Structure 1
């Protein structure tokens, strides 16, 4: 949405048009960066800030919607390059920005050592004195442009979304699902939830989706990837899919090949929905564009099933 004072930055994570950060422009050249990609993306993000005409000394805030590495892994290197910025993070995530060792260990477990080294290496701790903890309702005072942080768990317990009243839009990280522009057509945007490990909760996710759309947003900016505007319709789709995905996982719980069967079920669901949406060659598109997300979503659903089992 050009001219609205928010610049989309493609962080370059893995492939083009996969992972976005957003540069919000305040008065007098001041700015805030919302999400930042991985540590390996930090140089590209800094170049994009420069290209947007914002001095690095004029970036007052770095807000991370949650501390998954594709959103916050680059915070340490960026805070060293943005000398006046303060880091805004959910209370549950703050300690991981100051000491990222557990984040690093968890990411290596999910992605493997080789992929971690390729896509996530270079994480650095953030000085605790520069960290601001954002409780639900916290307002970040960007010059002439207040930004409201609202808790939106479900994808992660430590997730908030950012409301920009100037544009009546959310910057929602992963709370409003995934919507890749390759799937856009005459029927609009195609979206799916992201249930990645380790804190997926279907009821929280549905409540967060409803909270976002209840604000009557003109648009929602998501990390993966870009701006969606048919917010009410997409919200309904996402809520229905959360239920469908949870049902797929429950239906194969206890099977020895549970993960493979969840992957199969999610793939069938995505292909069916893509076909209904009018996507050309839906099987190929789902395999090529969504294969990695389906794998990670299946992992998250498996972790959720295990957590339910422990609670019985």
Structure 2
């Protein structure tokens, strides 16, 4: 926990220190930010107990967007939180109330067996327990203001949450990925996520710039944890978004486009890891980033197929 009552919870999705949820505690009341998968629910309830709260003390479940590593456990968790309301982006709420399309899309990508292994059976959230928030809207947790802004670029149904108390953002995937294994003497290593299917480079850069306009002291990333040096990391994200777009355009039209994309991204990240003095060799860096390289390549492919909007 940091001094502002923010608890980082490892949801145990895929590996340790890969996927985080957060618990904000204010005057005996709680709010979760993202929740991992169904398999994460016992860990979130245990975190409540550690923080001295009961499930009835939770007022909000704030879902940054509906990708299953962020919101797959929302329906099951809400069944355990009798007084909570789920807060969602206008484009996200329908998929939490009726997750059929979400399930079908993810199953098409991962297959039924992997869906059950990684996510479990996705549960709907009753419509009367879902609160849709608009861009710029503020809610309160025991008097603590939490502001929601629309942050497209990674997904069109994504918001980020400004916590004025801690002068920090809860960023979902908009402010990229930064794994603690890659921290080194030059600081945190960060990269954007373009995973399918709604990567939009210019809106993503605009969302990052909008968050910077609040002069944040820190960012709380789902993947993974709290990071500082925000302006420096924002510059790194902008540079890489441009570099990833250039790689995508250079690979477009090739018969081996996906292989070209994965090779280009791997080379980009290894070069930046060297610059950042990441304390792992190339093979170890590739192991940490293997899933993200594959998903980013897929996302860039979808972006190209949409006609580079």
TM superposition score normalised by structure 2: 0.97
Q: Which ranges of 4 or more aligned residues in structure 1 deviate by more than 6 Å?
A: none
Where do 1:16-165 residues align within 5 Å?
Answer: 16-27=16-27, 29-165=28-164
What is the deviation of 1:139?
Answer: 1.1
Deviations 1:17-37 (A, max 9, x none): 00111111122x111111000
Describe the SS at the equivalent of 1:177.
coil
Q: State the 1:195 CA deviation.
A: 0.4
Write the distance in 1 (CA, Å) between the matches of 2:240 and 2:86. 33
Structure 1 residues 226-245: aligned runs within 5 Å: 226-245=225-244
**What is the TM-score of this pair, normalised by structure 1?**
0.97
SS at match of 1:308: coil
Q: How much has 1:164 moved relative to structure 2?
A: 0.4
Give 1:107 deviation, angstroms. Answer: 1.2
Q: Deviations over 1:169-198 (max 9, x none)?
A: 001110100000001111110000000101
Task: Encode CA deviations 1:90-111: one digit per residue, 9 max, x unaligned.
Answer: 0001100000011111112222
Displacement, 1:279?
Answer: 1.6
Instruction: Specify the SS of the correspondent of 1:172.
Output: strand
Whether 1:8 and 2:8 are equivalent positions in the alignment is: yes
In structure 2, the CA distance between the partners of 1:50 and 1:122, relative to structure 1 (3 Å rule), is farther
2:305 maps to which residue?
A: 306
SS at match of 2:307: helix
Instruction: Give the Cα–Cα distance (whole angstroms) in 1 for the partners of residues 193 and 260 of structure 2.
Output: 18
CA distance in 1, matches of 2:298, 2:274: 25
Task: In structure 1, list runs of 5 or more residues that go unmatched.
Answer: none
Alpha-carbon displacement from aligned partner over 1:184-223 (angstroms, at most 9, x marks no partner): 1111100000001011100111111111112100100000
Shift of 1:44: 1.7
Distance 1:112 1:301 in 2: 22
**Aligned 8 A contact 1:271 1:282 in 2:** no
How far residue 3 of structure 1 moved from its aligned partner, in angstroms, is: 1.8
1:274–1:282: 8 Å Cα contact kept in structure 2?
A: no
Task: State the 1:282 CA deviation.
Answer: 3.6
Question: RMSD of the TM alignment (CA)?
Answer: 1.2
Counterpart secondary structure, 2:48: helix
Q: Distance in 2 between matches of 1:36 and 1:120?
A: 12
8 Å CA contact 1:59–1:84 kept in 2: the answer is yes
Aligned with 2:202: secondary structure? Answer: helix
Partner in structure 1 of residue 187 of structure 2: 188
Residue 72 of structure 1, CA deviation? 0.6
In structure 2, how many angstroms separate the alpha carbons of the residues matched to 1:282 and 1:212?
33
Query: Does structure 1 retain, via aligned residues, the 8 Å contact 2:182–2:280?
Result: no
Find the aligned partners of 2:72 and 2:284 in 1 and give their Cα distance.
Answer: 29
Task: Report the CA distance shift for 1:32/1:189 in structure 2 as closer, same or farther (over 3 A).
Answer: same
Figure out how many residues of one structure are paired with residues of the other and give that number.
309
Alignment of 1:166-245 (within 5 A): 166-245=165-244
Task: Report how far residue 284 of structure 1 moved.
Answer: 1.6
